[in-house]
Chains A and B, each alone.
Chain A
């Protein structure tokens, strides 16, 4: 491969990027913008789930129970229903996501320490909010019972210190406030850094559409110099994004960055090389920019969204899909970004993923160089 030819292509490609102001803006800021939009629309920071209560007990205890359950900002007390039909009606209209039915013997049983008869209904069509409501009603009930028991024993002149009713303490490590964004944003970075791959596929298609590829094919330019020369500028542009995005994540979303920034930058470079490798393969086979756009979404962004474990755990996927996930650079990079951001691990833990990324990149580039012919159709 001729270094002069490589540098000529790299220089030319940089000029194309810089010349077109709107294109430059897109290339530099589209990943950051898309990340912002996705972070706000996709984060499942559930709050204010509306619930209804059907209280057959009508006792001060049942009333204080309802009060305690809806005390926080997570569950909203929507209505006090008077019948099951009313509950059903509210569920059908989507006015509430969950309902609590308190039986007539609620306070009686509670005071007699006989367990509390109570029914919880959740809307299964929205499993996310339903499960969330169930969860919260569960632990708030626990809280209430503990308090009630302590009161009860105190009233019976039994020292509350001598008994430990229930002491359940759940701790989530690494993301103590359980904010979904913390987990999501590092994962999303692996998606939005796929944009340079789209750009590289587009630039090859652009050259074919405008006849400049024909001119290039008639020159002695080496295939490796041409393809690598196309890739390098977009890897560099991607790296600029790999600086902007963590800064945004830390300052704007206040996401912890516990690892080494240098390591993140270095591993991002390897990821960009492999993802841009997919773009260059697309560019080798594709003839038009429209096709490049459509296929990029099919091959880079959709799998990047669904198969890289950002939202759906890879372990839960069928074996064949799991294999495909392993062949996606985003899968390994998502592990790396989470590792560097949240757990703050180093290369001693992340090296297998780095090796996978480098291997995939080499395979993609090899395939592109193998299939790229300096011939028209």
Chain B
């Protein structure tokens, strides 16, 4: 028996005045997936999520969510999805509790269940003690968790989250992802866009968007596997000099810098590490550390984008 996808788009396209923001996206997401959408700013992630949430007219193509056609039955889909915009979009002058109650009424949650669901969600989001505080006076991380709680009040089958952790401190970011993981384990289908590669790594599948198109779509492990060569991490006294020297060496495919740390993609780590060591020594550049390292999503992502831009 095959499971039919809960989100399926065929050639989904959206044009703005002079640009094609989303270019013929075909993607199929199964129930229960935690699906990540990554890509540089302006790649079309937000437009894709807005299209799927029924907030934008489709220029070409089609999509089905939860069994309904997005173009002709958007209002049938809305009760089944929870959409969280990138920017805080709740009522700042209403309290945590008032915001939650408002969405409970709008989604027509059975009155008998509102209380228990609200209490559970507030506890879930760690907001129980702040429920009378106005949303404007919450921290960025708490605002995000409140937004998530509001999109969960009607127990949607599908969650569409647009960069839910952008601008949030690392601890709140981890808490937020722990909540997402719990929802994922409960069987909610989640489509989340993110600029953070460590978050992409936590997804069951990841689509890489570039200039409105999905250029890669696979599990994180297999996307990491698409990186060419092997990775070597280098920590030198003068990373500018080191970058210049290493980039010119034979067998070096790519150099990415992370602060003072250089990640070097080479055809063979075992063979090239001694060569890099030797050439840095001959140039008089002090070496603090040099070792083979497993490639992460981050390197794979940058490498893929560079190849596309070349």
Q: Is A93 an interface residue (CB 8 A)?
A: no
Query: Does B85 lie within 8 Å of A215, measured CB to CB?
Result: yes
Residues of chain A within 8 A of B83, CB atoms compared: 215, 218
Q: Is A176 an interface residue (CB 8 A)?
A: no
Interface string of A18-43 (1 = CB under 8 A from B): 01100000000000000000000000
A375 to B54, CA, bound (A): 7
Query: Does B98 lie within 8 Å of A219, measured CB to CB?
Result: no
Residues of chain B within 8 A of A4, CB atoms compared: 105, 108
Query: Does B55 lie within 8 Å of A8, measured CB to CB?
Result: no
Q: Which chain B residue lies CB-closest to A376?
A: B55
Contact of B94 among A15, A210, A214 (CB under 8 A): A15
Contact of A219 among B57, B78, B92 (CB under 8 A): B78
Query: Does B106 lie within 8 Å of A5, measured CB to CB?
Result: yes
Q: Is B91 an interface residue (CB 8 A)?
A: yes
A218-B54, A218-B83, A376-B50 known; A12-B91 Cβ under 8 A: yes
Q: Is A318 an interface residue (CB 8 A)?
A: no
The total of Cβ contacts below 8 Å across the A-B interface reads: 74
Query: Does A12 lie within 8 Å of B50, measured CB to CB?
Result: no
Smallest Cβ distance from B37 to chain A, in angstroms? 17
Query: Does B56 lie within 8 Å of A214, measured CB to CB?
Result: no
The number of residues on chain A lying at the interface, defined by a beta carbon within 8 Å of a beta carbon of chain B, is 26
A375 to B89, CA, bound (A): 16
Smallest Cβ distance from A245 to chain B, in angstroms? 28
Query: Does A220 lie within 8 Å of B78, measured CB to CB?
Result: yes
Main secondary structure of the interface of B (DSSP, over half): loop
Residues of chain A within 8 A of B108, CB atoms compared: 2, 4-5, 220
B104-154 residues with Cβ-Cβ distance < 8 A to A are 105-108
Smallest Cβ distance from A17 to chain B, in angstroms? 10
Residues of chain A within 8 A of B85, CB atoms compared: 211, 214-215, 218
A214 to B107, CA, bound (A): 15
Q: Is A7 an interface residue (CB 8 A)?
A: yes
Residues of chain B within 8 A of A216, CB atoms compared: 106
Query: Does B81 lie within 8 Å of A375, measured CB to CB?
Result: no
Contact of A8 among B87, B88, B93, B102 (CB under 8 A): B102
B61-93 residues with Cβ-Cβ distance < 8 A to A are 74-75, 78-79, 81, 83, 85, 87-93
Query: Does A374 lie within 8 Å of B54, measured CB to CB?
Result: yes
Smallest Cβ distance from A1 to chain B, in angstroms? 12
A145 to B291, CA, bound (A): 120
A215 to B85, CA, bound (A): 7
Q: Is B103 an interface residue (CB 8 A)?
A: yes
Residues of chain B within 8 A of A218, CB atoms compared: 53-55, 78, 81, 83, 85
Residues of chain A within 8 A of B92, CB atoms compared: 210
Query: Does A220 lie within 8 Å of B79, measured CB to CB?
Result: yes
Smallest Cβ distance from A202 to chain B, in angstroms? 14
Query: Does A15 lie within 8 Å of B106, measured CB to CB?
Result: no
Query: Does B106 lie within 8 Å of A19, measured CB to CB?
Result: no
Residues of chain A within 8 A of B98, CB atoms compared: 12, 15
Query: Does B105 lie within 8 Å of A8, measured CB to CB?
Result: yes
Query: Does B107 lie within 8 Å of A220, measured CB to CB?
Result: yes
Residues of chain B within 8 A of A211, CB atoms compared: 85, 87-89
Query: Does A375 lie within 8 Å of B56, measured CB to CB?
Result: yes
Q: Is A221 an interface residue (CB 8 A)?
A: yes
Query: Does A212 lie within 8 Å of B53, measured CB to CB?
Result: no
Smallest Cβ distance from B72 to chain A, in angstroms? 14
A20 to B103, CA, bound (A): 21
Smallest Cβ distance from A326 to chain B, in angstroms? 37
A375-B56, A376-B50 known; A221-B93 Cβ under 8 A: no
Q: Is A16 an interface residue (CB 8 A)?
A: yes
Smallest Cβ distance from B18 to chain A, in angstroms? 14
Residues of chain A within 8 A of B93, CB atoms compared: 15-16, 19-20
Residues of chain B within 8 A of A5, CB atoms compared: 105-106, 108
Residues of chain B within 8 A of A221, CB atoms compared: 106
A221 to B108, CA, bound (A): 9
Smallest Cβ distance from B117 to chain A, in angstroms? 16
Residues of chain B within 8 A of A212, CB atoms compared: 89-91
Q: Is A131 an interface residue (CB 8 A)?
A: no
Interface centre among A4, A7, A12, A215 (most CB of B within 10 A): A215
Interface string of A312-336 (1 = CB under 8 A from B): 0000000000000000000000000
Q: Is A217 an interface residue (CB 8 A)?
A: yes
Interface centre among B98, B106, B108 (most CB of A within 10 A): B106
Residues of chain A within 8 A of B91, CB atoms compared: 12, 16, 212
Residues of chain B within 8 A of A11, CB atoms compared: 102
Q: Which chain A residue lies CB-closest to B108?
A: A4
Interface string of A209-231 (1 = CB under 8 A from B): 01110111111110000000000
Query: Does B88 lie within 8 Å of A12, measured CB to CB?
Result: no
Smallest Cβ distance from B39 to chain A, in angstroms? 20
A221 to B89, CA, bound (A): 16
Query: Does B56 lie within 8 Å of A376, measured CB to CB?
Result: yes
Q: Which chain B residue lies CB-closest to A5?
A: B106
Contact of A12 among B56, B57, B89, B102 (CB under 8 A): B102
Query: Does B55 lie within 8 Å of A12, measured CB to CB?
Result: no
A216 to B53, CA, bound (A): 11
A210 to B136, CA, bound (A): 12
Residues of chain B within 8 A of A12, CB atoms compared: 91, 94, 98, 102
A5-B106, A376-B55 known; A220-B89 Cβ under 8 A: no
CB-based closest 5 A-B pairs? A8-B105, A211-B89, A218-B83, A215-B89, A220-B78
